[in-house]
Amino acid sequence: MHGPSFVYPNDIHVAWSIMIVLYPYITGLVAGAFVVSALYHVFHDHKLKPVARLALVTALCFCSCATVPLLLHLHHPERALNIMITPNQTSAMAGFGFIYSLYMLLLVVEVWLLYRPEIVKGAANAAGLKGFIFRILALGSRQITPGSQKADEWLIGVLAMIGIPAACVLHGYVGFLFGGIKANPWWSTALLPVIFLISAILSGIAALLLLYLVLCWAKKITPDADCVRSLCKYLWMSLVAAVSLEMLELLHLAYEAGAEWDVLRELLTGRLAVSYGLIQVAIGSVIPFLLLPVAFRTERYAVLRTFLGTISGILILIQVFAMRWNIVIGGQMFSKSFRGFVYYNLTLQGREGLIAAVVVLMLPLLALFAVSRLLPLIGDVEPHRPPEELCKSMPLDVCTSHQ
């Protein structure tokens, strides 16, 4: 009689697929875009005024699609709400449901307050389907008074202040979720939540810079020079912070030189040599690190500044995605027994295939395009005017001004 036989590695399948890579990637874009909005509304960085509205709407559109990768990954997505209906107080995933819902509500209210003058004006003037949508969004409001506008501006500032820690918790939670898996030495580090948060801000600023430049090109308007330089400066600072923390984490693991380091070193120099060494470090980190200072220090050559900002933004978005890939997929490629490696084959079709992943990434952009058909994002956004002047541009039965 033969005894049981064991084959190493003893975990041959990667449980978390590309959808779990997209989940922290999309939530990171949410947090990063909101931080840019808060820099204007809370810290009054007026150089970011041209992208203040775009940042907030971008955060809302990406946040509305943040749960799609998780639902596609679940075998029974109809059971997703059970995590909130019957929550477990010790479950980190249950906490995410409440954090996400509160943050989504905060974004919806802030965007509505920010666009309330345009919504009220559209409800009074627009016809057809567009007017019907505006009348629904107006929630019965048919007038803008100086007092109500001041109250809206105050409330926007308060929500932006509340949203800063909420955005940090939203994405820091993702790093906490991975860091809480003690069986994985690459994930179970105290720096991982901070790394996820800083890289989230990095990706959000890069996405916002690209969206702003693309929208300016589509509308045939010149990008604001101070705004582009400021975004490039914040992008470079975030890149330095994110890469420094990632290197410190690896140096700490290498200095400890535990049994797991031999496996991680072989993984990073072997199977992840392209995605980590070439894409994440060389292309996605070093090149933007050199290009961005030229972009935000260039004052005269607008074309060069736009070109360098565009290239840097694209490379950084690729770098952050590669970082998510290396952490999520790479962290599952070594066996729990440290005696072998696991393979992950990305399929083209299926609900967790490459086509589905591309569609998920396109959903927030489609939502952003739909919003742009109703409300101004850049360029045609009216400058801030006193309530009395704002009322003059509306019908008398819409705006009631104080004498």
pLDDT tens, residue by residue, 360-390: 999 999 999 999 888 888 854 444 444 444 4
The answer to the question of residue 173 being in a domain is: yes
Q: What is the mean pLDDT of the chain?
A: 83
Residues facing 341 on adjacent strands: 334
Q: Tokens representing 364?
A: 């927030």
Does residue 358 lie within any of the structural domains? Answer: yes
Has residue 398 got a pLDDT over 50? no
- What confidence score (pLDDT) does residue 355 get? 92
% pLDDT > 70, the chain: 89
Q: What is the pLDDT of residue 80?
A: 78
Segment 223-279, tens digit of pLDDT = 999 999 999 999 999 999 999 999 998 888 888 777 778 778 888 888 888 989 899
Q: Please indicate, yes or no, if residue 228 is contained in any of the structural domains.
A: no
The number of residues making up the chain comes to 403
* Overall number of domains in the chain: 1
User: Is the pLDDT confidence value at 91 over 80?
Assistant: no
Cα 270 to Cα 18, 65, 287, 344: the distances in Å are 20, 34, 23, 14
Pick 58 or 401 by higher pLDDT.
58
**Is residue 384 situated within a structural domain?**
yes
Is position 2 within any domain? Answer: no
Question: Residues 3-13: what's their mean pLDDT?
Answer: 52
Least confident among 49-63, 173-187, 240-254: 173-187
Alpha helices in 180-222 (DSSP H): 192-219
Please indicate, yes or no, if residue 353 is contained in any of the structural domains: yes
- When mean pLDDT is compared across 89-98, 141-150, 241-250, 371-380, the lowest value belongs to 89-98
Res 187 pLDDT > 90: no
DSSP string, 74-141: -S-GGGTTHHHHS--TT-HHHHHHHHHHHHHHHHHHHHHHHTHHHHHHHHHH--HHHHHHHHHHTTT-
Q: Which residues contact 357 (CB under 8 A, 6 or more apart)?
A: 18, 19, 22
Residue 339 is assigned to a structural domain of this protein: no
If one compares 200 and 299, the residue with the highest pLDDT of the two is 200
Q: Quote the domain boundaries for residue 100.
A: 17-179+348-403
Q: pTM of the prediction?
A: 0.85
Cβ(238)–Cβ(201) below 8 Å: yes
Give me the mean pLDDT over the 328-344 stretch. Answer: 76
Which pLDDT score is estimated for 363? 94
Per-residue confidence band for 322, with pLDDT thresholds at 50, 70 and 90: very high
Q: State the Cα–Cα distance between residues 188 and 207, nearest whole angstrom.
A: 29
Q: Is residue 68 part of a domain?
A: yes
pLDDT of 5 over the 50 cut: no
Find residue 334's DSSP bridge partners. 341
pLDDT of residue 389: 46
